[in-house]
C-alpha cells in the first residue's frame, strides 16, 4: 500500500525518513522542494504537487503548519476536494483547533473518505529516534487500518475515542509540558538572580523525584544557554492559544496557561520566536528588568533592587538605571525629598526620560494589569471596570466565575483576550515602552486596529506554489 506524506518541516522530515527506512512505499511533497532531497536520497518518490500525492496514495499523512495549510493542499471548499479524498484515508498528525478538525472529518466522510486524528507528543529528537507518542481518534475500523503505519514513527499509540478526542487529549498533555518548562525557566532565573550555581541546581533537579527526560533536556539548555529549537517558542504560543481557546469554549478557567500565554507572547515580541521553548526565560528576565526601572519611575531609589553579588544579567541594567537616575535632576530631587515620581507632571515626564535613556526593551504584556491582578496576593481594583478580583482563587472558582460573567461558551464574534497577539512594530513598541502614558493600549486593541485579530493574516496574495502565504505547508514543531 502506497502512503503519502505532506509537510516536511521540523517534525515532518524525520518522521517521513523513519517511514522510508522501515520500508514503507512513500510519496512526499513539501512547499519548499529542498526539504524533499533527503527523502529522495533515502528512496522516497518526490511528487510535484499535493494533488499528485493524494491521487496515488491510499493513506496520506498530513504534518502541516495549521488549518490554512491543510485546507489549501486539500483544496477544501472547491469541487476538487471530493476527488482528492474519496476512497482514501487522511491522517491528520498536526496540532490544530479541535473544532476545526471535527469539521474536516465531517467534510471528508461526506465526500466518501476516511479520517483519523493522530497528533503526537514529542519534539525533534524523539521524532528522529522514532519515540513519539501518538493519540488516535476516529472510526474504529479506520483507526485500525492506520495504526500499524505509525509504528516506525511512534513508540506508543493510544486510542482516544471519536474526533476530536485525540486533539483535546494532546492539548491536555501540553498544559503539563508548557507549565513544567516555564516553571523550570523561572527556577533557573531565580537561582541566577540570587547568585547561585545553576549547574548545581541542574544536578539537584536531575537527581530528584521530579526529574524527567523533558526536565533534563530543558535544564541543560537553560544552563548552557543553548536555545536551538526542538519545540520553538512560536509553536508553543500557538499551542497555548489552542488550549486557552478550547478552555474558553467550555467555560473552563485556565489560570496557569493564561500566565504562560503572556510570557510566550512576550518572548516572541522580544524577537525569540524561532528559539526553543526554554527561551521563555528571556521574557522572565525582561520582566525583572522592567521591575527595576518601574521602581525608579515611581520615585523609589533603585538601590533596593540591587541583585546579589555576581548575579547576572541584572547588574549591568542596574548600573545603567543608577547612572540615568543620578543624571536627571528632577528624578534625583524627587527621590531625595521622598516624593513619588507620579506626584507631579514634571517628574512623571522626567521619569519617562529616564526610561528612554536606559534603553528599556518593552515586553509585550498583553494585559499586564490583569496579570498583576491575578498574581497579587492582595485584592486589587480594576479601575476600567470597577470589578475587584482576588489574587488567590481556586481554579474551580475561576471556572464558575468565568461562566457567570458570560465568558464561556464563547459568544459568536468574540475573540478571547488570550488569543490577542502583538506585532513587533515600532508603533506598538513605543506604546508598550511607556504604559503610563495616555496613549497606552492593550495588545488586543493594537491587533484589532491593525485588522488582524489573533495575529492572522487576511491577505489573499499567493506564494510561488499558488498557496496563500499564511498556508505554510512546512510542519511546525510538535511538543
Rounded to an integer, the average pLDDT of 196-221 is 96
Angle between helices 281-297 and 314-327 (to 10 degrees): 20
Question: Are residues 92 and 108 both part of a single domain?
Answer: yes
- How high is the mean pLDDT of the chain? 75
- CA dist 342 and 382 (Å) reads 19
pLDDT over threshold 80, residue 310: no
Q: Is 266 exposed, middle or buried (0-12, 13-18, 19+ CB in 10 A)?
A: buried
- The answer to whether residue 461 sits within a structural domain is no
For residues 383 and 311, membership in a common domain is answered with yes
Q: Are residues 182 and 296 in the same domain?
A: yes
Domain with 358 in it: 171-419
User: Residue 454 domain-assigned?
Assistant: no
Q: Report the pLDDT averaged over residues 172-186.
A: 98
pLDDT digits (tens, 9 = 90+) for 238-286: 999 999 999 999 999 999 999 999 999 999 999 999 999 999 999 999 9
Residues 118 and 217 in one domain: no
Residue 471 is assigned to a structural domain of this protein? no
Structural domain contains residue 425: no
Its sign, for the CA torsion 385, 287, 390, 448, is: positive
Q: What is the DSSP letter of 389?
A: E
| Cell 527523502 sits on residue | 39
The CA distance from 228 to 174, in Å, is: 20
CATH number of the domain where residue 65 is located: 3.40.50.720
Q: pLDDT grade, residue 289 (50/70/90)?
A: confident
Q: Is residue 426 part of a domain?
A: no
Domain stops at, among 121, 147, 163: 163
Is 70 in the same domain as 147? yes
- Examine the domain organization and report whether 105 and 185 are in the same domain: no
Beta strands in 100-192 (DSSP E): 114-117, 120-121, 132-138, 154-159
Residues 377, 360, single domain; the answer is yes
Domain assignment of residue 272, yes or no: yes
Task: Kindly state whether residues 30 and 55 are assigned to the same domain.
Answer: yes
User: Which residues are CB-contacts of 40 (< 8 A; sequence separation ≥ 6)?
Assistant: 46
> Does pTM surpass 0.75?
no
What are 342's three cell numbers? Answer: 507620579
Indicate the range of 110-114, 170-174, 444-448 predicted with least confidence.
Answer: 444-448
Query: Does one domain contain both 318 and 245?
Result: yes
More confident residue, 408 or 380: 408
Residues 47 and 187 in one domain: no
The number of distinct structural domains making up the chain is 2
The pLDDT tens digits for 323-364 are 555 555 555 554 454 444 443 444 444 444 434 443 433 333
- Structure confidence at residue 1 (pLDDT): 85
- The reply to whether 289 falls in a domain is yes
Q: Do 196 and 237 share a domain, yes or no?
A: yes
End residue of a domain, out of 419, 453, 471: 419
- Distance, in Å, from the CA atom of 458 to the CA atom of 379, rounded to the nearest integer, reads 41
C-alpha cell at 21: 527506512
Which of these three, 374, 395, 419, is where a domain ends? 419
Q: How much of the chain, in percent, has pLDDT values that exceed 90?
A: 58
Identify whether 476 is part of a domain. Answer: no
Q: Do 216 and 318 reside in the same domain of the chain?
A: yes
CA distance 202 to 206: 6
**Following CA atoms 452, 455, 461, 463 in sequence, which dihedral angle do they give, to the nearest 10 degrees?**
180
Residue 371 has pLDDT above 90, yes or no: no
**Cβ(80)–Cβ(73) under 8 Å?**
no
Give me the CATH number covering residue 283: 1.10.1040.10
By the 10 Å C-beta count (0-12 exposed, 13-18 middle, 19+ buried), 419 is classed as buried
Nearest alpha carbon to residue 417 among 248, 294, 292: 248
**Mean pLDDT along residues 65-93:** 96
Amino acid at each position: 500500500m502506497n502512503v503519502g506524506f505532506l509537510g516536511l518541516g521540523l517534525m515532518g522530515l524525520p518522521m517521513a525518513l523513519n517511514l522510508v527506512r522501515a520500508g514503507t512505499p512513500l510519496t512526499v511533497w513539501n512547499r519548499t522542494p529542498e526539504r524533499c532531497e533527503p527523502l529522495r536520497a533515502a528512496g522516497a518518490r518526490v511528487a510535484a504537487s499535493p494533488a499528485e500525492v493524494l491521487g496515488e496514495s491510499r493513506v496520506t499523512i498530513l504534518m502541516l503548519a495549521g488549518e490554512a495549510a491543510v485546507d489549501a493542499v486539500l483544496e477544501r471548499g472547491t469541487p476538487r476536494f471530493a476527488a482528492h479524498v474519496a476512497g482514501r484515508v487522511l491522517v491528520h498528525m498536526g496540532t490544530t483547533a479541535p473544532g476545526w478538525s471535527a469539521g474536516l472529518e465531517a467534510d471528508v466522510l461526506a465526500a466518501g473518505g476516511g479520517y483519523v486524528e493522530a497528533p503526537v507528543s514529542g519534539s525533534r529528537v524523539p521524532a528522529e529516534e522514532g519515540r513519539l507518542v501518538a493519540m488516535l481518534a476516529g472510526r474504529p475500523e479506520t483507526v485500525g487500518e492506520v495504526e500499524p503505519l505509525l509504528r516506525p514513527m511512534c513508540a506508543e499509540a493510544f486510542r482516544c475515542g471519536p474526533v476530536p478526542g485525540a486533539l483535546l487529549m494532546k492539548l491536555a498533555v501540553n498544559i503539563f509540558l508548557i507549565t513544567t518548562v516555564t516553571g523550570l525557566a523561572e527556577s533557573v532565573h531565580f537561582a541566577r538572580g540570587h547568585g547561585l550555581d545553576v549547574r548545581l541546581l541542574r544536578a539537584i533537579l536531575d537527581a530528584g523525584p521530579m526529574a524527567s527526560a523533558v526536565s533534563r533536556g530543558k535544564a541543560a539548555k537553560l544552563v548552557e544557554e543553548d536555545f536551538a529549537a526542538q519545540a520553538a517558542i512560536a509553536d508553543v504560543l500557538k499551542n497555548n492559544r489552542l488550549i486557552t481557546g478550547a478552555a474558553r469554549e467550555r467555560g473552563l478557567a485556565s489560570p496557569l496557561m493564561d500566565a504562560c500565554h503572556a510570557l510566550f507572547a512576550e518572548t516572541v515580541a522580544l524577537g525569540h520566536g524561532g528559539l526553543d521553548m526554554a527561551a521563555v526565560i528571556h521574557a522572565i528576565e525582561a520582566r525583572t528588568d522592567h521591575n527595576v526601572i518601574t521602581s525608579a519611575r515611581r520615585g523609589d531609589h533603585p538601590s533596593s533592587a540591587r541583585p546579589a553579588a555576581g548575579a547576572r544579567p541584572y547588574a549591568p541594567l542596574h548600573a545603567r538605571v543608577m547612572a540615568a537616575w543620578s543624571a536627571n535632576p528632577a528624578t534625583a530631587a524627587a527621590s531625595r525629598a521622598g516624593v513619588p515620581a507620579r506626584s507631579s507632571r514634571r517628574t512623571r515626564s522626567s521619569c519617562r526620560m529616564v526610561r528612554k535613556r536606559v534603553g528599556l526593551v518593552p515586553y509585550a504584556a498583553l494585559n499586564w494589569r490583569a496579570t498583576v491582578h491575578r498574581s497579587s496576593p492582595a485584592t486589587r481594583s480594576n479601575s476600567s471596570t470597577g470589578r475587584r478580583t482576588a489574587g488567590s482563587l481556586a481554579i474551580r472558582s475561576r471556572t464558575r466565575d468565568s461562566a457567570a460573567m458570560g465568558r464561556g461558551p464563547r459568544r459568536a464574534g468574540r475573540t478571547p483576550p488570550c488569543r490577542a497577539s502583538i506585532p513587533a512594530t515600532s508603533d506598538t513598541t513605543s506604546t508598550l515602552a511607556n504604559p503610563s502614558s495616555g496613549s497606552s493600549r492593550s495588545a488586543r486593541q493594537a491587533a484589532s486596529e491593525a485588522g488582524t485579530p489573533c495575529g492572522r493574516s487576511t491577505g489573499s496574495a499567493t506564494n510561488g506554489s499558488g498557496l496563500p502565504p499564511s498556508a505554510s505547508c512546512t510542519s511546525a514543531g510538535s511538543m
